[in-house]
A and B are shown apart, each in its own frame.
Chain A
């Protein structure tokens, strides 16, 4: 079964410092990986996606993620945090084959807090 693990349930940074949210996925078939963000009382918004093209993916609001097959990781980064980045972030995986074909599996989420 496909799975995705977000290694930190909470991350706290100061405004202007780098952000790193970590995600590992189970290795099976060809994964597609996504990061979504959810602001309080809002729906989920797609930040970026990896679908077997370039391994370094750029998303909205200055976020980017790097697909590392050898490490089965897809960590989300941003050089400089902004107060508006405070939200919950979800790493999501889906596969092109197997019994989980097409099904989106969510990580448990990482709550990002940004301090002034």
Chain B
């Protein structure tokens, strides 16, 4: 168990809908990362937050947004969902914003039908 908790584990929704994925980092970790994993794209970095502020942005679509709350949990919001958004979404956390290792949650498997 990495200490990173993601909910829900599975999500099935229809195209055009909006969903929210939730991540609770390890106790004491200030940095949260979101990744998307799909068969054709591999692991893609989406966005990183550090202590409530956005720190780095990757290949995140405009339909997607995220935030980190004062209690350090994070949410990833996906809207106007398309079939191609079906993927495994991982959250990871690390203690700081430097080059330390990240610990990953079990992921949320999103299926858009």
Contacts and interface: CB of A to CB of B under 8 A. Distances in A.
Interface of A: 30-32, 34, 36, 42-46, 49, 51, 90, 94-96, 100-106, 108-109
Interface residues of B, number: 25
Contact of B104 (A30, A43, A102, A103): A43
B55 A102 contact: yes
Contact of B99 (A42, A43, A94, A106): A94
Given A32-B99, A45-B2, A106 B104 contact: no
B45 A103 contact: yes
A100 B99 CA distance: 10
Interface string B13-46: 0000000000000000001010100000011010
The secondary structure that dominates the A interface is: strand
A90 B103 contact: no
Interface of B: 2, 31, 33, 35, 42-43, 45, 48, 50, 55-56, 58, 90, 92, 97-107
A64 B62 CA distance: 40
A32 B100 contact: yes
Contacts of B107: 43
Contacts of B48: 102-103
Contact of A43 (B50, B58, B106): B106
Given A46-B101, A102-B31, 7 more contacts: A31-B99, A44-B92, A49-B101, A102-B98, A103-B56, A104-B102, A106-B35
A66 to B, nearest CB: 18
B43 to A, nearest CB: 4
